[in-house]
Amino acid sequence: MSSSLDRARALLAAATPRRLALPERGVEIALLDFDGPGPLALAHHANGFCKGMWAEVAELLRGQLRVIAMDARGHGDSSRPEGPEAYRWHDFAADFAAVAARLAGEAGYPLALGMGHSLGGTALLGAESLAPGHFERLLLLDPVTPPPGAPAPPERAAHVEGMASKALRRRADWPSRAEARAWFEERSLFDGWRPEALDLYVLDGLRDRVDGGVELKCPAAVEAATFSQGGGVDLLSWVRGLAPPTLWLWAERGNFPVPYYEVLAASMRAARVERITTGHLIPMERPDLVADAALRLLAESP
């Protein structure tokens, strides 16, 4: 297949969709199971995105890991609780832990790897803190990191609220997927993305409307609430003493100071930070670096 759109369609067609009801959490979580042999890995996307963004990483890991990607609450094809209070980061972490527990129970053994990007990386740390033992190793892709061990400075709070405000103004519908893709291509947010990643977003991150158009599956209000609700996370308390071997990937063109990562990693039992030359949206720019990091982490002695 020559075009990036054909390739993106094939990547998604190779996965098995399923829904996981979590009545204790009050949500249903949508999953994409990329199948194949190998131990299980569970992956969580960034705020505003969707499970399909992991498709290229999953393909590169096929045969070594069976990747299952999840949509966060309010995102993608997962259920959408009402009200901004439903998008506290503690809830994203608890959902991640509940999905991991269910999958580990089905498999009969812990998941070999948890992978989380941005919001997903922070949620992964919270999940391991809330319910230790479901993941053997953790791979964190430029996770969101409030200043460790201190209240967020005023400029950080202003930045978060600015992100929330921007999310509320984001365009949410288009006459067609082709027009949506063309619009995305002109936005700086998508600079550096692989063409396949942009097509995966258009295919999995948009839903068809009855009028023939398309719209974002993650509404602006959910993305904005997610940004706003992250300010109360005490990440240092989540990570202190965590046992699984952990690799933090710090994006040199990302959003967070590397000393934050180094302080947090040092508080864990077996963690280290690696710098990579990408922007914040690592899986969309360099899925090969993500897959390589996952395999190196798996090859290390526990």
Q: Is residue 164 part of a domain?
A: no
**Mean pLDDT for the chain overall:** 94
Helices (H) and strands (E) in the chain, counts: 12, 11
Q: What strand order describes the sheet that includes 113-117?
A: 16-22, 27-33, 66-70, 40-44, 113-117, 138-141, 246-253, 271-279
- Residue carrying structure tokens 């978060």: 160
CA pair distance 99, 70, nearest whole angstrom: 9
Give the CATH number for residue 103.
Answer: 3.40.50.1820
Give residue 265's pLDDT: 97
Condensed to tens digits (0 to 9), the pLDDT of residues 105-133 reads 999 999 999 999 999 999 999 999 999 99
CA pair distance 236, 226, nearest whole angstrom: 20
Largest CA distance in the chain: 55
* Residue 230 banded pLDDT, cuts 50, 70, 90: confident
Give me the number of domains the chain comprises: 1
Give residue 150's pLDDT: 59
Q: What strand order describes the sheet that includes 173-174?
A: 173-174, 214-216, 206-208
* Residue 152 banded pLDDT, cuts 50, 70, 90: low
State which residues form the domain around 248.
Answer: 4-150+230-299
Condensed to tens digits (0 to 9), the pLDDT of residues 240-254 reads 999 999 999 999 999
Q: Is residue 113 part of a domain?
A: yes
* Residue 232 banded pLDDT, cuts 50, 70, 90: confident
Q: Is residue 214 part of a domain?
A: no
Give residue 96's pLDDT: 98
Using CA atoms, how far residue 153 sits from 148, 157, 264, in Å, is 11, 7, 18
* Residue 1 banded pLDDT, cuts 50, 70, 90: very low
Q: Is 271 helix (H, G, I), strand (E, B) or coil?
A: strand
In this prediction the pTM is 0.96
Condensed to tens digits (0 to 9), the pLDDT of residues 65-95 reads 999 999 999 999 999 999 999 999 999 999 9
Using CA atoms, how far residue 233 sits from 91, 122, 239, in Å, is 11, 9, 11
Give residue 95's pLDDT: 98
Q: Is residue 167 part of a domain?
A: no
Does 60 have pLDDT greater than 50?
yes
Condensed to tens digits (0 to 9), the pLDDT of residues 182-201 reads 999 999 999 999 999 999 99
Q: Is residue 122 part of a domain?
A: yes
CA pair distance 217, 79, nearest whole angstrom: 11
Q: Is residue 225 part of a domain?
A: no
Using CA atoms, how far residue 187 sits from 56, 139, 148, 162, 287, in Å, is 22, 28, 32, 18, 21
**Is residue 218 within 8 Å of 80, Cβ to Cβ?**
no
